[in-house]
Chains A and B, each alone.
Chain A
C-alpha cells in the first residue's frame, strides 16, 4: 500500500481497501498505455479538463431557455434538435441524432438507458451516478411514477408518461414546461431555472424566486 492512501477522497460506496486496489490497477494500466506509446498522459489530463470545464447542464439550459422565448427556435428544435442546437454555435457540438421531446400539460417525458448509460453528454454533462445505477435503469420503464416519487416529484394521475429508452445512438433532451410567473424573463434568467433533472424528466424547472 502506498503512503498516499490516506489522501484519497472516497466515494460513499467504496471501502478503503477496494478503492486502493482499484487505484493501483488504474495507475498500472495508465503506465502500460504510456510506456507502449499509446497515449500521452498530458492528453488524458486535457480530456479531463475539457470535461470538467466545457460540458454540463448549462448547455442544455441555454437551449431550453431559448426554446421558451423563441417559437421559431422551439419548432426547429423539436423538428431536428441536432441542426437547431448546432446553429446556436455557443454550445458544444452534439454530433448526430439529438432528439428534443416536449413536456406539455398532457404529457410528461422521461429518459433512461436500461442497457448502459446513454445520455446527452454535450447537453447535460456526464450522467449522475443514479442515472447509471440499477434502481433507475430497472424501474424507469415499468414504474416511472414510483421513480419520480424517489425524487419527490409527482404528476397528476391522468398525465400521460412517455419513457424513452436510449437503446441506440439517438440522445434525448426533455424540453420542460416553462414555469409560471416568468413573463418578461430574459433567456439568461430563464436558463437559471432549468435544472439538469428537468431535462432528464425526473424533475421540474425551479420556480422563479425559489432558493437555488
Chain B
C-alpha cells in the first residue's frame, strides 16, 4: 500500500510540474504577456513599459522567471490580483464554495439518476428503455450546456415561474430553503452531461459484472433477483465508477464555468471570466493552476479510494 501510494504520488508530482510549465507557457506565450494590461493605459510610452517590465522582473530570461514563479507558488504565494491587490489564493478561496456546492449537488443527482438509468439499461439490454437511454445520452452530450440553461430559465422561470432565474439566494432572504430553491436549476443543468456519461459507463460496468460466476452462484443458491442486484451486481459495478468519477472532474469544472455564467452564480467560473475581461493575469493564472491541481488531486484520490475499496486490486 505504501509503495503504491508513493509511486502514485510521485507520478502526480511529475504531472503537477508539467502542469505548471504549461500554465506558465500559456501566460507568457500569449501576446503581450502580463504586460499587456499596462499597454492599454493612455499615454503609456515604450520607455515606461520597459521600466515596468524591469520592476516586475519580466525582462529576465524565461527559465529564471519560471523558477521564481514556481518556487513562490509552491509555498502558497500566488501573487496579488491586479484589480484589488488581494492575494490570489484568498480570491480563489472566496469563490470556490459556490462552485463546489454546484459540483457536489449535481454530482449527487448524476450518480443517483445515472446509476438508475445504467442499471436498468443493462438488465433490460436492447429494450426500448435501453435504446431510448442510449439515444438520450448521446443527445444530452451534444446539447451546449449554456443553451440548455437558457431553455431551463425560459421554461421554469419565465413561463412557469417555478424557479428563480439565477443568483445564490434572494437578497434579504438567506434561509436554507431559499438557498436550495436557487440551487435546483443550475445543478440540474450541470448534471445533464454527467448523467449521460455516468449512465453509459454504469451500463457497461453492469454488463461486465452480470455474467460473473458469483452472480450465477447467488442465483443458483436461490437468492431473489432483487437481492442479487443490490448485494452483488450493483455493488461490484459501482467500484470502477470511482475512477470514472475522478476522470469527470475536468468536464464538471468546464460545465460549472458555463453554468455559472448563465445563472449569474458567483463561483470560480464567474471569477475566471471577470478576471479575463480585466486582464487580471495573476488571478487568471491562479484559477488555471488551481483547477488543474484540483483535477490532479481528485484523480489521485479516486485511484487510492478505488484501490482501498476493491481488495482485488493489487497495490504494487
Answer yes or no: do A and B interact. no
Which chain A residues have a beta carbon within 8 Å of chain B's beta carbons? none
